[in-house]
Amino acid sequence: MNQFGTYLYRAYNLFIFYPYYFVVNNLVCLLYHFLFPITRLRRGHWLGKIWGRAYTLGAGIKVKVTGIENLDPMQSYVFVGNHSSAVDIYAVHGYVDRNIKWVLKKELLKVPLLGTANLLIGNVPVDRKNSIQAMNALNKAKKRIKNGISIIFFPEGTRSRTGKLLPFKRGAFLFAIETQLPIVPMTIKNANIVAPADSIFMKPGTVEIVIHKPIQVAGYDKTTVMRLAGEARGIIGRELGQL
């Protein structure tokens, strides 16, 4: 894209896309409120699909998903993915056709409508500064992650500003061991290019999501949890071409 095209697309971001997204975001959140408890847990993910696709389509971002055939629709999983952009969330919500609950930072609960909508559909807010609260929240979530309902973690703990894979924390892997649910590594490519973490401006392009084969957690325990984390990180890192 030449310089004129870049300026034109930035103007589109500011004056068309963001006002459009403000309306769509609040409309979807209101639907979550009005349709509760119908949408709770089991059915609410279809609104998330609309929300994610509305964002990416409006931003001119295409999403390609490969590896969905690796999943059993009736099996619950613990997904773990790399995180380099806000668009990661919209891409997974919109295009990974599974009922996935999110582990999200507690601060998002303060956002009007969005915060309560997340609670209504069973997403899991954690206080990253309070390990006891985070543990309690995840313990409560264990009861809901069953019968095909899955959960996703970004085990780096924050967005990578450069796109380089950061070290993995152990929380997601302990959760998988304690629930005996398979770990599914998920590689998200190009998100940091189309929607950089340090910019409000996006670029048209394609985000690719690669769903890898599940890792069975039988045989792992608290003493070997970082070996499990290393296995998942290795799969994602190799797909990114970084390991």
Of 114 and 88, more confident: 88
- Check residue 43 and give its pLDDT: 58
Q: Return the closest-CA partner of residue 212 out of 237, 243, 193, 180.
A: 237
3-240 placed in CATH 3.40.50.170: no
All structural domains of the chain with their residue ranges: 3-240
What does the angle CA 220 – CA 183 – CA 94 come to, to the nearest 5 degrees?
A: 165
Kindly state the average pLDDT of the residues 51-79: 96
**Does residue 202 contact residue 61 with C-beta atoms inside 8 Å?**
yes
C-alpha dihedral over 130, 172, 118, 160, to 10 degrees? 80
- Check residue 230 and give its pLDDT: 98
3-state DSSP percent of the chain in helix, strand and coil, to 5: 45, 15, 40
Question: Over 70: is that where the pLDDT of 25 sits?
Answer: yes
- Check residue 44 and give its pLDDT: 67
The overall average pLDDT reported for the chain is 90
Q: How many other C-beta atoms can be found within 10 angstroms of the C-beta atom of residue 172?
A: 25
CA distance 159 to 192: 9
